[in-house]
Amino acid sequence: MSTAKPQNAPKPLEGLRILAISQYGAGPYATVHLADLGAEIIKIEDRHTGGDVSRGVIPYAEDGDSLYFQSLNRNKKSISLSLRTPGGQDIFRRLVAKSDAVFNNLRGDVPAKLGLTFPQLCEVNPKIVCCSLSGFGTSGSMKSEPAYDYLMQAMLGHMALTGEPDGPPEKYGLSVIDFSTGLMAAMALMAGIHQARVHGVGCDLDVSMFDTAASLLNYLAAWTLNRSYHPEKTRHSSHPSLVPSQLFPTRDGHLVVMCNKEKFFPALCHAIGADNLANDPRFINFTVRLQNKEELIESLMSIFRTRTNSYWMNKLRAAKVPAAPVNTIEQALEEPLMHERGMIAEVDHPKMGKVRMMGTPVKVSGFHPEYRPGPALGEHNEEIYRGLLGLSAKDLIDLRAGGEI
């Protein structure tokens, strides 16, 4: 019987080359998932400014690198290149001729100033796809305004819905807008590159944090726009209409129960020894449970407080009632499924040693991702400039002397 390891399937995005002028969170988050799937992501960094600003994000930053940078830039390449010099622009356009896409996450009015748009690059490569991820888009009255995740959460109503009703507006604990916009940009890149390969013509792609944060309002926006609905914060992180679907305190922690189908409520009541609630006319369906929410939740709260998280989770799982413990980040990372699903990746870093981080959430049959550390600034200059563009050693010396690389 053979003990040979199975051959790894081809990398799904192998052969795809994307030039990335991006830094910090949203932009690098878009391309790290493409890099994990085999795309060649070439980070263009300006050595005069120290490259990607996230190289210095604290805590855990040292010598032009950080754990923050590593978590968003593994499996990528880095070249140093100044796009603000004629020589740098010439090198950049030579790279565009050999690439599928140019991606940036600059302020909305900057890409055109740096020559990163399709009309400016199509003569070099008619199939080039130019994707801009910005705060407010490349058009409109706010395109030159700075934007960050926190600002979008405030401006688009997200903070007004987060927290307890009697408390102040609160932000998410994670950079949800940054990362959601990054995923939108990754999807946009795949759509644009597909269009270019099928139809032979590239395009501009305009993805903004504002538009993404607005799109996340989804059904709440539909209710508000069409039925004069007034979204408000809810107690105990409860669903606005489906009862009971919320947070419950237990003897030693908290858990979330999600009865988003009628069948789950009687199952919940039976699991916690409260069949009387399931048969009560006040709680017989979603409509009347919403009308009598306070009475029902008070009864459920008193029951859940009597036992521990683990006790109730065992009961609810056995009854097939959707529920989850409210874990800390440390507890979440220790969930067995993290390892079963390959979500803890390990990277051998030349200075930091073994670095653990979150793996790719995209599973492709037969393909097993390999993780390489995020690059040092300009680490791949020789490979890209000499190998891809065919420049000589003297060319590189001259480019360094001129400040282009």
Question: What φ, ψ does residue 274 adopt, rounded to 5°?
Answer: -130, 50
Distance CA 32, CA 28 (A): 6
pLDDT at 2: 40
Q: The tokens 């490979």 sit on which residue?
A: 383
Average pLDDT, the chain: 95
pLDDT at 9: 80
Query: What parts of the chain have a pLDDT lower than 70?
Result: 1-8
Please check whether residue 158 is in contact with residue 213, taking contact to mean a CB–CB distance below 8 angstroms.
Answer: yes
pLDDT at 19: 98
pLDDT at 400: 87
Please check whether residue 362 is in contact with residue 377, taking contact to mean a CB–CB distance below 8 angstroms.
Answer: no
Given 239, 254, 270, 349, which residue is catalytic?
Answer: 239
Count other Cβ atoms within 10 Å, centred on residue 129. 28
What are the tens digits of pLDDT across the range 206-229?
999 999 999 999 999 999 999 989
Judge whether 239 counts as a catalytic residue.
yes
For the chain, give the secondary structure using H, E and C: CCCCCCCCCCCCCCCCEEEEECCCCHHHHHHHHHHHCCCEEEEEECHHHCCCHHHHCCCCEECCEEHHHHHHHCCCEEEECCCCCHHHHHHHHHHHCCCCEEEECCCCCCCCCCCCCHHHHCCCCCCCEEEEEECCCCCCCCCCCCCCHHHHHHHCCCHHHCCCCCCCCCCCCCCHHHHHHHHHHHHHHHHHHHHHHHHCCCEEEEEEHHHHHHHCCHHHHHHHHHHCCCCCCCHHHCCCCCCCEEEEECCCCEEEEECCCCCHHHHHHHHCCCHHHHCCHHHCCHHHHHHCHHHHHHHHHHHHCCCCHHHHHHHHHHCCCCEEECCCHHHHHCCHHHHHCCCEEEEEECCCEEEEEECCCCCCCCCCCCCCCCCCCCCCHHHHHHHHCCCCHHHHHHHHHCCCC
Q: Which domains does the chain have, with CATH numbers?
A: 17-215+342-401 (3.40.50.10540), 235-326 (3.30.1540.10)
pLDDT at 1: 41
pLDDT at 3: 43
pLDDT at 403: 84
What are the tens digits of pLDDT across the range 220-255?
999 999 998 999 999 999 999 999 999 999 999 999
Residues 190-195: contacts with CB under 8 Å, at least 24 apart: 192/101, 192/129, 192/131, 193/16, 193/100, 193/101, 193/129, 195/129
Calculate the alpha carbon distances from 249 to 238, 258, 301, 318, 333 in Å. 13, 14, 7, 20, 22
Distance CA 83, CA 344 (A): 36
